[in-house]
Amino acid sequence: SAVISQKPSRDICQRGTSLTIQCQVDSQVTMMFWYRQQPGQSLTLIATANQGSEATYESGFVIDKFPISRPNLTFSTLTVSNMSPEDSSIYLCSVSPSSTANTGELFFGEGSRLTVL
Amino acid sequence: KQEVTQIPAALSVPEGENLVLNCSFTDSAIYNLQWFRQDPGKGLTSLLLIQSSQREQTSGRLNASLDKSSGRSTLYIAASQPGDSATYLCAVPYKDTDKLIFGTGTRLQVFP
């Protein structure tokens, strides 16, 4: 398994500002992902955080709005830029410890609950 | 395009009942299926992972089954307790990746 710490756990932000969310894992992991969960909705994948290279974004998400860094195998950040009330969501970091895709469990952090006023 | 649906959307039961939560997926070519629990405003806790070659997995009072051919999985909760109250999500990988496609969730409330 993997223990994942996310910071901040929650924040209230003003429209137009940016917030960076951190994800720290207690062991080296192959894959790291960022998800968004809008109020009352299920989870949607934002991007795959690639170690040492640019993140891979899903349809509907762009780097200018959600820049992601992954400097090593245990740490990643997601920035929500130029926030609007529509960005109010829970943002979750997910990791796959397995070196082989789709063979093992995926683990999630506690989430960062963001409210934009 | 893979779509994952869960029914019922919400469930409220008295303590002690045995429960069945359902998960359906449109593309049966999955590698595995994972069940998660989410408490309000919190992250996800992995409950059970079923590989495509398996029919079921058990953990304590939880039992998950998988029928790939019919595109269904069920999560069985025995002797429910108020502490089981949460939202339960199922998820399958997108093709041969670790990117997950989530179901719509079942919000469970178990009252004393």
- pLDDT digit string, tens, across residues A27-59: 988 889 999 999 989 999 999 998 888 899 999
The burial of B83, by beta-carbon neighbours within 10 Å (0-12 exposed, 13-18 middle, 19 or more buried), is given as: exposed
| Each residue's pLDDT tens digit, A58-113 | 999 999 999 999 999 999 999 999 999 999 999 999 998 766 655 678 899 999 99
A25 vs A4: CA distance, rounded Å: 5
Residue type, B61: R
What six digits make up the tokens of B15?
A: 């303590």
Shortest CA distance from B96: residue in chain A:
A102
Residue among A33, A105, A110 minimizing CB distance to B43: A110
The pairing of strands B106-111 and B4-7 is: unpaired
Residue among A50, A106, A113, A114 with most chain B CBs within 10 A, to mutate: A106
A81 vs B40: CA distance, rounded Å: 26
A interface with B, Cβ–Cβ < 8 A, is 4, 6, 31, 33, 42-45, 48, 58, 90, 92, 94, 96, 98, 101-111, 113
B29 vs B39: CA distance, rounded Å: 30
What six digits make up the tokens of A44?
A: 């949607």
| Cβ of residue B45 closer than 8 Å to a chain A Cβ | yes
- Mean local confidence (pLDDT), B30-52: 92
From chain A, the residues in CB contact with B91 under 8 A are 43, 106
Which of the residue ranges A98-112, B5-19, B22-36, B45-59 would you say has the lowest mean pLDDT?
A98-112
Residue B78 predicted with pLDDT over 90: yes
